[in-house]
Structure 1
Amino acid sequence: MEPVYAYPTIITKPATILELTADTAKKTVKSSSPYLTIPGTVNRLFYLQRDPNPNTVIYELNAPGGHLDTDEPVHPYWIRYNEKGQKQDLSYIQRKFAYGVSAKESGAGRFDLRLAAYKKYPLTLMKGPDGKYHIFATISKRQAVINRIFVKIEGGTLWFPNVRYIEVLGTDAQTGTAVIERFKP
């Protein structure tokens, strides 16, 4: 039986202030996206949330029995907060056109990944210095481990949502500093 997760508290004001350091200046960036409490799992790589719907897509390492599935190294699924907080697999349409992940092995335990809805943003699944798999991407011109992606949607349709911005939050791979980048797709 799948675990049922407790409903999260929705925070509608900025939850954190992140200190981002540059070579010559220090700047503070506030994340304005709402945050939900996400249950931790051993294999979670990152999660994706979008506004106005509280349901969350979790991206986990697909390693049944401790062995990485090289055909599908990442397994995305929902936590359906607006229902009973249950875990649910993505539908075929959601996997192919929105929240699914395509993976191509690039050698030495590395995988080039692309999200179905935004293939322009390159992701890499590989082991970090801690010996565990993480998803790396360029965030604010730095190599970073992705922790969260937030998509701000205002109107549009099911097939053509009006995406105001995408916000990617991660941890700088060199310094361990939090990094955040917001962009319009």
Structure 2
Amino acid sequence: MMNFLISLFFVGALNYSPPDETCVCKGQEKFPIPPTDQQTLFYIQRTPNTNTIMYVLNFGDKGLLDEDEPVHPYWIRYQEEGQKEELSFIQRNYAYGLKTENLGNNKYELRFVSYKKLPFYLVKSKRDNRYHIIATINKKDIEVSRVFLQIEGGSFWLPNVVCAEVTGVDPDTGAEIIERFKP
């Protein structure tokens, strides 16, 4: 349930909070950088542990993108043995899973199951001919590569999220963009 609440905050913060230059997410230097490849889209990391949720392209048996589920989320359980693990039923259906709509022409609208108001788009970039996740945050388009949430205290049911940080690149120039939010 904590993951569900964190996910609600993360998407809500991206949607509602103005940029806050005083917000500095602490502790992320202790987090491992997960292995990425051509199929990796983005990942989410959050305190209080280093377990990471990966979002990767989902290709079918014939090597084509699965039109019904083009993005596949899973855990890297760094707090255990670093193993890959599928999301649980609850995580997939109430927190970190994605609802997908095929918009045609290699474009998909994705929404977190925990918060449907903020769309993410899976699109093929003209810059590098690869798929990327695009979100509009603080009126800027960003190719999302990482989301980090800093939690300090709170309870199991209501964690105290003090900072959210989204890292990515400008889809036109490839310049790095970091956007931070304070609840």
Could you tell me which runs of 5 or more consecutive residues in structure 1 were left unpaired when the two chains were aligned. 1-26
Instruction: Report the alpha carbon displacement of residue 157 of structure 1 after superposing the two structures with TM.
Output: 4.1
Match of residue 101 from structure 1: 98
d(CA) in 1 for partners of 2:177, 2:50 = 23
Q: Does residue 85 of the first structure (1) align with residue 82 of the second (2)?
A: yes
d(CA) in 2 for partners of 1:123, 1:133 = 12
- Decide whether aligned partners of structure 1 residues 179 and 31 sit closer, same or farther in structure 2, where only a CA change above 3 A counts: farther
Match of residue 75 from structure 1: 72
Cα deviation code 1:121-177 (max 9, x no counterpart): 320001011221111112343222111011222334444433323211110011211
Q: Does residue 50 of the first structure (1) align with residue 41 of the second (2)?
A: no
Match of residue 36 from structure 2: 40
- Decide whether aligned partners of structure 1 residues 80 and 97 sit closer, same or farther in structure 2, where only a CA change above 3 A counts: same
- Decide whether aligned partners of structure 1 residues 94 and 68 sit closer, same or farther in structure 2, where only a CA change above 3 A counts: same
CA contact (8 A) 1:80 1:86 kept: yes
User: Which residue of the other structure, out of 119, 124, 130, is the alignment partner of 1:122?
Assistant: 119
Match of residue 146 from structure 1: 144
The structure whose RCO (Cα within 8 Å, separation 6+) is larger is: 2
**Structural RMSD (CA):** 2.2
User: Which residue of the other structure, out of 60, 65, 68, is the alignment partner of 2:56?
Assistant: 60
Identity %, equivalent residues: 49
Instruction: Report the alpha carbon displacement of residue 64 of structure 1 after superposing the two structures with TM.
Output: 2.7
- Decide whether aligned partners of structure 1 residues 120 and 155 sit closer, same or farther in structure 2, where only a CA change above 3 A counts: farther
d(CA) in 1 for partners of 2:154, 2:116 = 20
d(CA) in 2 for partners of 1:71, 1:174 = 28
- How many residues get paired? 158
Instruction: Report the alpha carbon displacement of residue 33 of structure 1 after superposing the two structures with TM.
Output: 5.0
CA contact (8 A) 1:140 1:180 kept: no
- AA matched with 1:153: I
d(CA) in 1 for partners of 2:136, 2:163 = 17
Secondary structure class of the residue paired with 1:39 = coil
Instruction: Report the alpha carbon displacement of residue 99 of structure 1 after superposing the two structures with TM.
Output: 1.1
Secondary structure class of the residue paired with 2:49 = coil
d(CA) in 2 for partners of 1:154, 1:118 = 22
CA contact (8 A) 1:103 1:114 kept: yes
TM-score (norm 2): 0.77
Write 1 or 2 for the structure with the bigger share of strand: 1
